[in-house]
Amino acid sequence: MTNVISKNLGEALSGKCFHSLTKDKNKIHWQGVVVGQAEPGWYLVRLFSWLSGNPTQMTLVRFEEMVDWIFYSDSDEMNFSWKHGVASKYRADQDLTETIDFLDGGRP
């Protein structure tokens, strides 16, 4: 039964974009996408650059570390949350966000 639940959870999280939180849960730490479940309790995630949004690296993360993450259906939803939604409450530096938006072609 545990393997079935783990498999279903792995399938449910695969392809979901996310923002992870710092250990004190007051700032966003990473942004990325869940690639898939490597084995029960471990997930492979691809991280994205804060400056360009391009993929940077992949890492393995234990499920227990993911329980407070904010998950999204796709990158559009994640970007909206960063600018206007739940994730905007956790941004570490509003000025940095405006600089990144400007570099991406937006207006500060």
What distance in Å separates the CA atoms of residue 100 and residue 108, rounded to the nearest whole number? 9
Partners of 42 in beta bridges: 39, 62
pLDDT, residue 106, reads 47
The residue that leads in pLDDT, 101 or 63, is 63
For 101, the token pair is 């938006």
Does the residue 58 lie in any domain? yes
Q: Could you report the per-residue pLDDT of 24-79, keeping only the tens digit for each?
A: 888 999 999 999 999 999 999 999 998 888 999 999 999 999 999 999 999 999 99
Partners of 21 in beta bridges: 28
Helix (H, G, I), strand (E, B) or coil at 22: coil
For 77, the token pair is 């939803």
Does the residue 38 lie in any domain? yes
Query: Domain limits at 36?
Result: 2-103
Q: Is the pLDDT of residue 108 over 50?
A: no
Q: Based on the structure, what is the number of domains in the chain?
A: 1
Which of 59, 71, 58, 56 minimizes the C-alpha distance to 9? 71
pLDDT, residue 1, reads 46
Dihedral of alpha carbons 79, 22, 97, 100, sign: negative
Does the residue 108 lie in any domain? no
